[in-house]
């Protein structure tokens, strides 16, 4: 496809597809080389969900006969605000104006770009900044909004986060930037942005009047210390949440990816606009989901249990992967970002691993965009999702390591 196509034309032409579609096409004619295949591709937790969720949904089944408000109930917004207060020490988050529930964070990350692009007047095409590699929704959202996706290298050389010093020097780019998608802990590398890093990103957003969208859906899965949040950093500034939105969800925190429940919080004026846009074109959260979400945000005990389960998996990773694949325990999240350069291109590695040992992982090349030389920052990496139970994880890693022995 040619660069003359608009973003929507690229999407319609199939020029840009998800990593999972590309992986399916890569392996369509390759049989797994093991009688018990293990899929470590999708970030879909298989740990046990909280026991009370089904009962909470059952208790609200009568609400299925009603349209729920796009802004959801006071109870849900208050529950989210209370969680933010407990987690980040922000006591004055306004649940009416500064919290907006979503049908999962992905939906919000997409819809939020519409007012972000619409509010910015630029002399050239509006730009949307994102790390490279990245979560595919960032790229798809930019294309759908007819904005230019700008990929900021997030490599070992940059600490697996975009280089904000290099970004600050490109004033022409910043002057036409509408939004900056930032993920911490980062997907796929698991790197945590420091409070100082977040403060610098906030300063850039305010100086050049773009929206900083912090995707924090992995914030509750960490190996040592909890990641700082963009709202806690912003709350300490005189402008508070101006130009800043944090996104989070129950998918990873509470093992509930199928519940499709999340939120956006921060800049109240921006969220007012987002709410009205969603009221025109977005689906409401079903009543039983809303009711159950209150109970889940109110409970932190199950989150600690889930976190400990992942920490046990990382102990296995430490023992089995030390000295192999450039292994580094991630700061947060449940992905491994393994360097397979000694085995060739990441696509070749993925095919070989599936063909010989029946373990499916994602080529890093499918999670990143090409740079000027035609290569991507993920060409020699694979992403491994530690979403299965401990024994299945151990079995899968044994097979992976066999390629290195």
Q: Which of 62, 388, 337 is nearest to 189 (CA)?
A: 337
- Between CA 306 and CA 160 the distance in angstroms is 25
CB 130, CB 149: distance < 8 Å: yes
pLDDT (tens place) for every residue of the chain, 405 residues total: 445 889 999 999 988 899 999 999 999 999 999 999 999 999 888 878 888 999 999 999 999 999 999 999 999 999 999 999 999 999 899 999 999 999 999 999 999 999 999 999 998 899 999 999 999 999 999 999 999 999 999 999 999 999 999 999 999 999 999 999 999 999 999 999 999 999 999 999 999 999 999 999 999 999 899 999 999 999 999 999 999 999 999 999 999 999 999 999 999 999 999 999 999 999 999 999 999 999 999 999 999 999 999 999 999 999 999 999 999 999 999 999 999 999 889 999 999 999 999 999 999 999 999 887 889 999 999 999 999 999 999 999 999 999 877
Task: Tell me if residue 126 falls in helix, strand or coil.
Answer: coil
CB 163, CB 182: distance < 8 Å: no
- Between CA 300 and CA 161 the distance in angstroms is 29
Question: What's the confidence (pLDDT) of residue 3?
Answer: 59
| Residue bearing tokens 């649940």 | 95
Number of Cβ within a 10 Å radius of residue 139 = 21
The pair of structure tokens assigned to 40 is 């470590």
Q: Rounded to two decimals, what is the model's pTM?
A: 0.95
Q: Which of 363, 360, 358 is nearest to 345 (CA)?
A: 363
Alpha helices in 248-331 (DSSP H): 250-253, 268-281, 287-298, 301-321
Question: What's the confidence (pLDDT) of residue 405?
Answer: 76
């Amino acid at each position: 496809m040619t660069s003359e196509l608009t973003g929507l034309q690229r999407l319609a032409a199939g020029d840009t597809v998800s990593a999972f579609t590309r992986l399916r096409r890569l392996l369509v004619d390759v049989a797994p080389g093991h009688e018990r295949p293990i899929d470590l591709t999708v970030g879909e937790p298989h740990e046990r969900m909280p026991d009370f969720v089904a009962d909470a949904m059952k208790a609200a089944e009568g609400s299925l006969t009603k349209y729920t408000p796009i802004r959801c109930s006071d109870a849900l917004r208050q529950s989210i605000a209370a969680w933010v207060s407990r987690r980040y020490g922000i006591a004055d988050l306004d649940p009416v104006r500064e919290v907006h529930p979503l049908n999962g964070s992905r939906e919000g990350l997409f819809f939020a770009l519409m007012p972000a692009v619409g509010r910015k007047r630029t002399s050239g095409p509006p730009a949307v900044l994102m790390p490279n590699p990245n979560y595919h929704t960032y790229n798809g959202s930019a294309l759908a909004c007819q904005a230019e996706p700008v990929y900021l290298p997030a490599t070992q050389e940059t600490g697996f986060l975009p280089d904000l010093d290099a970004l600050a020097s490109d004033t022409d780019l910043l002057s036409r930037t509408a939004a900056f998608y930032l993920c911490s802990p980062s997907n796929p590398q698991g790197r945590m942005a420091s409070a100082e890093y977040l403060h610098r990103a906030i300063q850039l957003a305010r100086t050049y009047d773009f929206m900083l969208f912090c995707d924090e859906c992995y914030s509750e899965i960490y190996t040592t210390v909890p990641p700082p949040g963009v709202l806690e950093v912003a709350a300490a500034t005189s402008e508070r949440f101006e130009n800043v939105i944090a996104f989070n969800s129950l998918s990873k925190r509470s093992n509930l990816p199928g519940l499709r429940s999340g939120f956006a919080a921060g800049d109240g004026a921006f969220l007012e606009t987002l709410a009205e846009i969603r009221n025109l074109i977005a689906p409401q959260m079903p009543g039983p989901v809303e009711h159950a979400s209150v109970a889940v945000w109110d409970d932190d005990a199950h989150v600690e249990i889930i976190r400990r389960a992942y920490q046990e998996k990382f102990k296995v990773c430490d023992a089995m992967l030390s000295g192999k694949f450039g292994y580094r325990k991630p700061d947060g999240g449940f992905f491994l970002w393994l360097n397979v350069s000694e085995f060739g291109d990441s696509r070749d590695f993925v095919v070989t691993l599936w063909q010989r040992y029946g373990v499916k992982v994602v080529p890093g090349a499918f999670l990143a965009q090409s740079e000027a030389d035609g290569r991507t920052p993920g060409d020699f990496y694979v992403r491994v999702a530690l979403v299965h139970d401990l024994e299945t994880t151990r079995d899968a890693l044994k097979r992976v390591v066999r390629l290195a022995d």
